[in-house]
Homo-oligomer: A and B are copies of this chain.
Amino acid sequence: MGREVIKMVLEDEALELVAAVDPSAGPVDAGIFAGGKQTGVTVSSTLEEALSSSQSDVLVDFTVPQAAYNNTRTAIEYGVRPVIGTTGFTPEQITELDELCKQKGIGGLIAPNFSIGAILMMKFAAQAAKYMPHVEIIEYHGDQKLDAPSGTSIKTAELIAEARQELKQGNPAEEELIEGARGAYYNGFRIHSVRLPGVFAQQEVVFGGHGQTLKIRHDSYERAGYMPGVNVAVKKVMTYSGLIYGFEHIMD
């Protein structure tokens, strides 16, 4: 993920790479480290070294939950805005980090999901459900996935259920000739989980009304799909004060 972030920064003329951290990389050029050209920025082995030797505006961190809290605190102490793609923060930690950000007058973001497409899909699904309350979700994942429905589809279903009027869809006298045909029941509507080899992650939210259907579909092909979201976050975090949790809250 670190390499993807370096590449994203180097590809955007509005951004400048001033430091990079990897405890095990050694003193290599950050551009070379990311599989690209020489940049003049050497990878640091600790966060403190990176922050003290550069004039950073923003820190992007995709490490593990154990490290993320301390990294976030350290960044804020240096007046560097944290953009964190790690889960596992407690509500108390988030409140504390929010206060620290405000004291420094800087913004910050913690987000478990940076996939702009997936977040837009969920957002649009909730908006549409207000006007077209008849809806079903079909989600597709690889055939080795263990759980069904997927986490994203359940999250989408929750947002839909909050947004729409209460409604029990379908014919009350409906009958399943083969058990399970109508999918998983959630708050009046249905979720269907397709599992096939060759699929990474896809979801389709279908709304039906008089003589029309509206579909919102997100196809995800690989993990690099997070970078456009990180790009937005890095710019947005310069414009406010305090720590925000959840990428959807920095979207207009």
Whether A131 lies near B180 (C-beta < 8 A) is: no
Whether B200 lies near A221 (C-beta < 8 A) is: yes
Question: How many copies of the chain does the oligomer comprise?
Answer: 4
Residues on the B chain within 8 Å of A197, using CB: 134, 208-210
Shortest C-beta distance, A59 to chain B (Å), equals 21
Interface bits A148-164 vs B (CB < 8 Å: 1, else 0): 11000010000000000
Contact (A120, B115) CB under 8 Å given A183-B180, A198-B211, A210-B198: no
Shortest C-beta distance, A138 to chain B (Å), equals 6
Whether A217 lies near B217 (C-beta < 8 A) is: yes
| Bound Cα distance from A179 to B136, whole angstroms | 15
Shortest C-beta distance, A119 to chain B (Å), equals 8
Whether B184 lies near A184 (C-beta < 8 A) is: no
Whether A136 lies near B196 (C-beta < 8 A) is: yes
**Chain B, residue nearest A153 (CB):** B181
Contact of A120 among B132, B191, B198 (CB under 8 A): B132
Whether B146 lies near A174 (C-beta < 8 A) is: yes
| Bound Cα distance from A170 to B194, whole angstroms | 9
